[in-house]
Amino acid sequence: MHAPIAFSGSHVDRADHIRNDPAALEALKTWQARLLRMDGLDPVLTPDNTLDWGSLSDAAPDSELVFLGLDGERGCFAEVRNSYPSGSPHAGPASWNAMAVLEAGELAAYGGARSLVGWHSRHRFCAVCGSATVLAKGGWQRNCTNEACKAEHFPRVDPVTIMTVECEGKLLLGRQPRFPAGRYSALAGFVEPGETIEEAVVREVFEEAGVRARDVEYVTSQPWPFPSSLMIGCHAFADDPAIVMDETEMEDVRWFTREEVTEALEATERGEQGRAFGAPPRTAVAHALLRWWVERG
């Protein structure tokens, strides 16, 4: 992988040792501390296309402050407002714009904050007893306020397998109805309880395309904060190219030659769509998977 995976490489040190130290956390809440400005769950950018950081005094009085980590010696925080953030939990225009213009470290800092703020907003009440929860460990935990329960809740990450499948020198790609016209991408699906990553790859490929995958190998991963997934990029092989598509999820599934995949990636670099199909954007781990396959030959 030549280019950094989008949403990786944050310049904010997570500083786990400070999360468990209430005195150290409070000591960081000075005029030097930084508050990441967000519009709901969307990033707010400066005219120079960088993240807009304010001071803790900008936070609403009834907001909770989540400790993101350290930037040098300064504490970095995000605000969890009393009302649920407006907008979709999925990537919208503001997020796609941020992916296009932000430096890699800043994009990663925003991605982590977005996932964390979104999780807090969705977990104000205990999943065990329904009582209110309160922020703990600087925002990396929520505790139930019911003395008879006292359940502890932690930010969750949903594992998703995303995979390319190879057969007879061709690559299996599909498109969903929500994709832009002509766009094809790697198949993907959530890992289910009781599954290994390899089992999830085999199951999802068969469910969506009717293809039996084998010899699954891990390639790379990507944090994807919409709302809070970990994309686990894999590659697999198949012996039979026959496709039986799941029409409830997929609009089309087909095999593409190495030449077609190469041309589609080159077209993406020019801001164009390939002749055979439109490749995923560079910010998607699917793009990295396609490029990995082409370059390994």
Angle between helices 285-296 and 258-269 (to 10 degrees): 130
- pLDDT for 90: 80
- pLDDT for 43: 95
Question: Which phi and psi (to 5°) does residue 209 adopt?
Answer: -125, -10
- pLDDT for 89: 76
DSSP string across 135-183: EEGGGTEEEE--TTT--EE----EEEEEEEEEETTEEEEEE-TTSPTTB
Element (H, E) at 40: none
- pLDDT for 1: 53
Mean pLDDT by runs of 10 across the 297 residues of the chain is: 83 96 96 96 96 97 96 96 79 93 97 96 96 97 98 97 98 96 98 98 98 98 96 98 97 98 97 97 96 94
Domains of the chain, earliest start first: 16-122 (no CATH), 158-296 (3.90.79.10)
pTM reported for the whole predicted model: 0.94
Lookup result for tokens 């299996």: 172
